[in-house]
Chains A and B, each alone.
Chain A
Amino acid sequence: MITVLVIVLIVEALSLLLLFLNIQIFRSQSEKYRLLLSNLGDQSAWGRPGRILIPLYVLMTLGATAVTTIIFIFQPHLL
């Protein structure tokens, strides 16, 4: 049980790390393309890609992490 719990927690931690990395990479890449358009004289055309997706991504990952951890620790039979 403890071994499985450790595996679950490691997987959840890796998931949160991947979430953080993905968002950082996305933001830096988005900024790069915004600068490309800025050099062409129209940075407003880039808009704000990810303004809905990033909060949704964060909420879903955090929610999934919380729910799956709680279910595993407390009530696996409720599934």
Chain B
Amino acid sequence: MTSTNTEHGEHVVKVTDEHWVKYVVPVLISIFLFAIAFLLFVLAGITAHHYMWLSHASYIAALLLFLVTLHWFFMVLLSEGLDKIIITNRRLMRVQYRIIFHEDILEISFDKMKTVDARKHGFIQNILHYGTLIFEVNKARVPLVPHPNRIAKIIQDAMQEKH
């Protein structure tokens, strides 16, 4: 996928998402919170006839927990879906966005950074094929890169093309 911005001589070499492993923790947290909300709904049902105040209190707590978890879960998924790693012939950009809370665009110019290493540490990263790109011996790091060796090769080619 290569195309050219003729005005600036910059073209996109590769656009990739971060690795899907980033979704594991939010999914586990959501399952846990949904389970608690479900138990509170059950408590509200069980106590409906005998302790109305307890039933109402637990129903409102369950509803709040359920809806907060639902919105938080989808806000995380939608935000993470916007995160991209964009490699052009001149730079690498990593877009990180969290709805309402946070936006971060990391830009690494190939004018300043001339070397890149790919690192996969540990069993999980090697099995799931993701890792970290490290520029100029730790001057900049881009974590959660899928197939970091391939991406590093693409970046090295882009760096060589530039110089």
Contact with A along B58-82 (1 / 0, CB 8 A): 0110011011001100110111011
CB of A18 to closest CB in B, whole Å: 5
Is B71's CB under 8 angstroms from A19's CB? yes
| Known pairs A33-B95, A37-B15, A42-B3; A53 contacts B48 (CB<8 A) | no
Is A11's CB under 8 angstroms from B99's CB? no
**Looking at the complex, which one of A12, A49, A77 makes contact with B48 (CB distance below 8 Å)?**
A77
Is B12's CB under 8 angstroms from A37's CB? yes
Stretch of B39-47, B113-121, B132-140 contacting A (4+ beta carbons < 8 Å): B39-47
User: Number of B residues whose C-beta is below 8 Å from A?
Assistant: 42
> How many of chain A's residues touch chain B, expressed as a range?
35 or more
Is B45's CB under 8 angstroms from A53's CB? no
Residues of chain A contacted by B141 (CB below 8 angstroms): none
Is A30's CB under 8 angstroms from B82's CB? yes
Is A11's CB under 8 angstroms from B81's CB? no
**Pairs A–B under 8 Å by Cβ, sample size 6:** A11-B67, A29-B82, A45-B1, A49-B82, A76-B45, A76-B55
